[in-house]
């Protein structure tokens, strides 16, 4: 892997620094959750969704949840220290996993740099993308079904603008660090999308132990 990993002193020797981390990036409505679910089923990785973690905090009315509820209405990004703390805690609680799929994280370059410094660099970055008009349509449809507070026209507009300004540069950042980045267009069928995702995972340069593990699953 081109990007070097940083040893995280706050994780045990059997922690995530020795396991693959796949980051799944993409704007809202690109189908990240669907593709992550299929990877979990096939490869046995732990799926960690930043969005789901934050929505759970909101539901539980925790201090973080109260902060996020306000941020969510504006379509803004959650502060760096909060996101890193939540993601690291989620990983530590799943230390027995064979690997990790981080869904919707990192959402900004400073989050990417902070995660590499405190945990490790990703083994693979999957970037799911589609035209913004397509994403707007999908999110409005989802909002009619899910009732999610962030699936309304104004918040969707803000979220897409935030993604373009702050999250899209993360993809370029990883490409410049020689991390393997696979761009996948999501305007085709979910099966076609997953075929591309599966091939990217199979061809990622994991260590020999993990390659053997994957071979047994495939």
Give the pLDDT confidence of 58-98 residue by residue, as tens digits.
888 888 888 888 877 777 777 888 889 889 889 988 888 88
Distance between CA atoms of residues 99 and 215, nearest Å? 15
Q: What is the pLDDT of residues 97-156, one digit of tens each?
A: 889 999 999 989 999 999 999 999 999 999 999 999 999 999 988 878 776 766 788 888
Q: What is the pLDDT of residues 27-42, one digit of tens each?
A: 999 999 999 999 999 9
SS3 assignment, position 81: helix
Question: What is the model's pLDDT at position 206?
Answer: 64
Distance, first Cα to last Cα, the chain: 22
> In this structure, what token pair is assigned to residue 60?
């539980």
Other Cβ atoms less than 10 A from the Cβ of 36: the count is 23
Question: What is the model's pLDDT at position 40?
Answer: 94
Residues in Cβ contact with 200 at an 8 Å cutoff, skipping those fewer than 6 apart: 124, 126, 180, 182, 184
Is residue 215 packed enough to be buried (19+ CB in 10 Å), middle (13-18) or exposed (0-12)? exposed
């Amino acid at each position: 892997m081109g990007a070097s990993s940083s040893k995280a002193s706050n994780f045990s020797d059997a922690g995530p620094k020795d396991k693959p981390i796949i980051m799944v990036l993409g704007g809202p409505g690109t189908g990240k959750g669907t593709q992550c679910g299929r990877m979990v089923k096939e490869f046995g990785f732990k799926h960690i969704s930043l969005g789901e973690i934050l929505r759970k905090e909101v539901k539980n009315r925790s201090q973080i949840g109260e902060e996020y509820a306000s941020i969510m209405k504006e379509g803004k990004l959650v502060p760096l220290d909060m996101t890193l703390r939540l993601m690291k805690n989620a990983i530590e609680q799943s230390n027995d996993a064979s690997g990790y799929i981080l869904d919707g994280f990192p959402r900004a370059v400073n989050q990417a740099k902070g995660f590499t410094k405190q945990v490790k660099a990703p083994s693979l970055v999957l970037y799911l993308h589609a035209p913004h008009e397509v994403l707007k349509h999908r999110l409005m449809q989802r909002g009619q079904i899910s009732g999610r507070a962030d699936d309304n026209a104004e918040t969707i507009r803000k979220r897409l603008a935030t993604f373009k300004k702050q999250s899209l540069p993360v993809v370029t950042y990883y490409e410049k660090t020689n991390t393997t980045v696979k761009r996948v267009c999501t305007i085709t069928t979910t099966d076609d999308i997953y075929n591309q995702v599966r091939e990217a995972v199979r061809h990622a340069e994991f260590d020999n132990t993990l390659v053997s593990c994957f071979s047994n699953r495939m």
